[in-house]
Structure formats: C-alpha cells, structure tokens
A and B are shown apart, each in its own frame.
Chain A
Amino acid sequence: MMKEEEFTFFEAYLSEELSEEERLSFENRLKKERELSEAFNNYKELYGFLEHKFTTEKATEAFTKNLSEISKGYFSSKKKTKVIRFKPWQYAAAASVVLFLGITMFNNFGGNPAYSDFAVHETLSLTERGNQNKLYLNAEQAFNSNNYEQAEQLFSEILASNPNLVEVELYKAISLIEINQFTLADTILLGISNQNSAYKYSAKWYLALSKLKQKQYDDCDLFLKEIPVGSDVYELAQELLSVL
C-alpha cells in the first residue's frame, strides 16, 4: 500500500510544484516502480474525475433537467398518438406487433421482418353502422374467419352496388394481399392513398405491407416513409422501419 507522503508527492507533481531535480527523479521512479506508477495513474484519473465532477456539476444538472423534460414530451406525445387509434385493422396491426414482440425475443438479428409479423387482421365490423344487410354480414364473417378468398368476392359484390365505400375497398385490398393477388391489391391501395379520405394513410400502410409480403423491401421502405407524423399508423410504420 502507498504511503501518505507519496500522495503529497503526486499532488505536488500534478500542480507542477516540484523542482526540476525532484521532477526528474520522480519520473524515473515511475518508470521503475510498478506499484508506484499504478497508484499514480489511478490518482491522476481520480483527480480528473473529481475535477470534472465538481466543475461541471451545474451544467450537468441543467442538461439532465432539460433531457428529462424532452423525454417526457416525447413519450407523452407517443401516448397521444396511441389513443387516437380506433380502426379495427389498427388494433389488429398493433396486436400483431405485440405478438411479434412475443415470438421474436432475442431472435431478430439479420434477416428481414415477415409480413405475418405485422399483419394479423382481427374483427371487422361493417354491420355496426346499422347496416344489417346479409351480404355485409357474410362479408364480415368471411373476413373475420380469415376466409379471405370468399371475403374478397363478397366485398366485390358490395362494391358493385356501392362503389364509393372506401373502407370496403380497403378491406378488399387487404383480402387480396392475403391471397397473394398483389397487382390488384396494390392498384386499389394506390387509388385510395392518392385520394383524400380517412383511409389515405392506412392504404399506404397496407401498400407497405403488401410490398413486405412481396419481399420488395425498398418499396416497402418508401411507402412507410410517406406516412407522416400524427397519422394513426405512424408508429406502426416507424416500428416496421426500424426492423427493415
């Protein structure tokens, strides 16, 4: 263990209070005595630590405070975006992300995300809008039981008499992605995403998912990036972007 005098010597050396002769002899000892040089290096590092600790205390405090406010702002605005989510396919997509989180723990290095990780469609409820039409009920049931081929046909029937139902169009496109009819799905989705409707960005999201399923990652990336902050699917898009 170091003697107390040695520390006094370290201090004098660091504050350049030694004579030339003393300095040289100390440096010479540092070269020869391992224990001394180790202790001196530790002393120097701790000296630096203390200097830093006390001279930057106020700046660090200000930084930490500012950081915690920015962080609070960031995370609370994230939560707000979440509350706005209300469309069934968004719940579905969110649920699928949770599922995705569950099954890919510690296991997502290298390789691209899969379509199925991000798109699990749950309950569609067209009849909630007071429409008890049997066709609508059947379409809903087919979609909700993952019978996408039948759902697609029924959605087409609905659209034949009501071509302006954008929501049904969107579900038709989702069904088409599910049964790998990408060309038609993408055409419908592009149409929706180019109009101004409540489904504009959901259409972009599904376009991205369609590209993901087609393993066209660059296109997927492009569509995701067209989804602006504040839209309902922004967070999902960012989540997918982060693993692409």
Chain B
Amino acid sequence: MNDKKTHRDQLYIIGLLNNDSIIIKEIYEKFAPKVIHYICRNSGNEHDANDIIQEVLITIYHQAQKNNFKLTCPFDAYFFLLCKRMWFNVLKKTSKKEVTINEEILSINDDASLLSFETIEFDERQQLFEEMFQKLGNACKDLLKASFTIKSLQEVADKLGVSYAYVRKKKSLCVGKLTKLVQGSPVFKKFKN
C-alpha cells in the first residue's frame, strides 16, 4: 500500500486529524447526503445515519492518528464504504436475517474497498482491546494510565508511593495480563483466521 500515491483527498484526513471545523463541516455537506440516503433506504433513519457518520469519522480520526494513514483513493468512496459496512454490522447485530453486501465482491480489489476493510478491522481490534482493558482490575488500570500519561516511571513510582522497580515490573505484568485476555478472547481468534 505504501508505494501507492497519496490521493489529494488526504486533505480531509489531515483536517480530521487537526480537528478542523471547516473541513469537518465540508465533509458533512459533501458526503453525508449520500450516506443518509443510503441508510434511510436500507432499514434505517436519519438518526441512525447521524450515529454511523460520527462513528466512522471517529474511527478514521483514530486510525489517522495512529498509523500515519495514507489515503490512496477518493475520500468519498472510502467514507461511503466505511459507513455502509458499519451500518451492515449494526443490521447484523439487530436483525436476525442474513445481510449480504453483494456488490463488494466485485470491487474487492479497489483501493477504497481494501482501505475500508483495513479501517474496519482496525476499529474492531481497538474495540476489543478497550473491552479487555475494562476487564482489568483497578490497580492495573490506574498503574497503566499513570505510566502511559506520565512518561517517567520514576515519577509514577513517586506518585504512587512505590519503588521504580515495582512500577516497571507491574507495568509489564499488567500489559501481559491484557495480552492474555486479548489472546484468549474468541473475537481475537477470529481475526487470526
């Protein structure tokens, strides 16, 4: 993916990263109507569309922040596919009937399709990690929060009133515990296949 040319619509990604209101408004004006129309036509309403659009923009924001994300296709296509897939996930969860997206098989080699798949997987992983993090005990949660917010472990140790060696060891054990929780979850096993 990295040898591909960055699309000029990368400006929307940068706008999101910078929390640039003008760009975000432009995204709504330009790209929201199509999504709203689509969701309203597929068992949803405007309120659902509102939720999906926000969720997708937050996901793009996170991915852009973390992975030095490079857009190699028009934003329109990428954004629309993401909204569509997230909406299908919602439908799958709420309705018992089988939902299929036939047209995607045809465009599987598209940059937009690939990128949106990557983003969806990224989002699902983040959600799983967050869920597992919440399962940790409070001692671990607090220590992890402190040691990732305050860069110096010595400072963390001073703050918590324990030794540097203890913080260092405890930090690795807590991340280890989280690793085990994630590895043991059925959702994670699904990612591997």
Residues on A lying within 8 angstroms of B by beta carbon are: 1-2, 4, 6-8, 10-12, 38-39, 42-43, 45-57, 59-60, 62-64, 66-68, 70-71, 73-75, 78, 100-101, 104-106, 108-110, 235, 238-239, 241-243
The residues of A that contact B54 with a CB separation of less than 8 Å are 67-68, 71
In the complex, identify which listed stretch (B1-9, B18-26, B110-118) lies at the interface while the others stay far away: B18-26
The residues of B that contact A50 with a CB separation of less than 8 Å are 133, 144, 148, 175, 178
From B148, which residue of chain A is reached at the shortest CB distance? Answer: A54
Compute the total of residue contacts between A and B using a CB distance below 8 Å: 119
User: Among the listed B19, B32, B40, B145, which residue makes an inter-chain contact with A101, where contact means beta carbons less than 8 Å apart?
Assistant: B40
CB pair A43 B28 closer than 8 Å: no
The residues of B that contact A70 with a CB separation of less than 8 Å are 21, 24-25, 28
CB distance from B88 to the nearest CB of A (A): 10
CB distance from B19 to the nearest CB of A (A): 5
CA A48 to CA B28, docked complex, whole Å: 31
The residues of B that contact A51 with a CB separation of less than 8 Å are 148
CB pair B173 A8 closer than 8 Å: yes
B: number of interface residues (CB 8 Å): 49
CB pair A242 B148 closer than 8 Å: no
CB distance from A147 to the nearest CB of B (A): 31
Q: Which residues of B, 26-74, contact A by the 8 Å Cβ criterion?
A: 28-29, 32-34, 37-38, 40-43, 46, 50, 53-54, 57-58, 61-62, 65-66
Given A39-B179, A46-B129, verify A64-B58 contact (CB < 8 Å): yes
CB pair B46 A63 closer than 8 Å: no
User: Among the listed A42, A57, A238, which residue makes an inter-chain contact with B183, where contact means beta carbons less than 8 Å apart?
Assistant: A42
Max count, chain B CB within 10 A of own CB: residue among A7, A101, A104: A7
13 contacts across the A-B interface (CB closer than 8 A):
A7-B175, A7-B176, A11-B168, A12-B172, A42-B179, A45-B125, A47-B175, A49-B126, A51-B148, A52-B66, A55-B148, A60-B58, A242-B37
CA A207 to CA B37, docked complex, whole Å: 22
CB pair A46 B182 closer than 8 Å: yes
CB distance from A173 to the nearest CB of B (A): 26
User: Among the listed A7, A54, A66, A78, which residue makes an inter-chain contact with B172, where contact means beta carbons less than 8 Å apart?
Assistant: A7
The residues of A that contact B61 with a CB separation of less than 8 Å are 60, 63
The residues of B that contact A12 with a CB separation of less than 8 Å are 172
B94 at the interface (CB under 8 A from A): no
CA A6 to CA B182, docked complex, whole Å: 17
The residues of B that contact A2 with a CB separation of less than 8 Å are 176, 179-180
In addition to A42-B183, A50-B148, A70-B25, 6 A-B residue pairs with Cβ atoms within 8 Å of each other are: A2-B179, A43-B176, A52-B62, A56-B65, A67-B24, A104-B41
B96 at the interface (CB under 8 A from A): no
From A243, which residue of chain B is reached at the shortest CB distance? Answer: B37
CA A74 to CA B130, docked complex, whole Å: 30
From B51, which residue of chain A is reached at the shortest CB distance? Answer: A71
CA A54 to CA B171, docked complex, whole Å: 14
Closest 9 CB pairs of A and B: A7-B176, A11-B172, A54-B148, A242-B34, A109-B103, A238-B33, A74-B28, A101-B41, A7-B172
CB pair B179 A71 closer than 8 Å: no
From A239, which residue of chain B is reached at the shortest CB distance? Answer: B37
The residues of A that contact B133 with a CB separation of less than 8 Å are 50, 53
From A40, which residue of chain B is reached at the shortest CB distance? Answer: B179
